[in-house]
Amino acid sequence: MTQVLRRLQVAAVRLELELTEKACDELAALSLSVVDACHVIACLTETDFHHRVRSRRGGAPLYVFKPVVAGLRLYIKLVAREAFVVVSFHEDGEEEAHGSH
């Protein structure tokens, strides 16, 4: 996990993360920008890591983090492909309403 987290943090600092349309909509609902999301992701720690699964679309690893930011627990799901793609970025507890990927 440490290597993946470091790669993810570097990509976030460089603003090299890709975001799905769904993740962009979720950021807007939180009144956050892509730069804000990259900052949050750059600050993730191993204790924020929740679990890893394989994508049903191609088998790529999906990483779920649940950091607490400004008193709000977030649910951040990323897929690791050639670049990291942010799939979900919303308040934790909403994943059931949005469905999983």
Count the neighbouring beta carbons within 10 Å of the beta carbon of residue 94.
Answer: 13
Q: What is the pTM of this model?
A: 0.87
**2-98 in CATH: which number?**
3.30.2310.40
Phi-psi region of 80 (alpha: psi -120 to 50; beta: other; left: phi over 0): beta
Q: How do the domains of the chain map onto residue ranges?
A: 2-98
pLDDT value of residue 32? 95
Mean pLDDT of the chain: 90
H-assigned helices in 1-101: 2-13, 21-29, 34-42, 95-98
59-88 confidence digits (pLDDT tens): 889 999 999 999 999 999 999 888 899 999
Residue position matching structure tokens 């799905």: 20
* CA distances to 5, 11, 94, 98 from 83, in Å: 13, 8, 25, 23
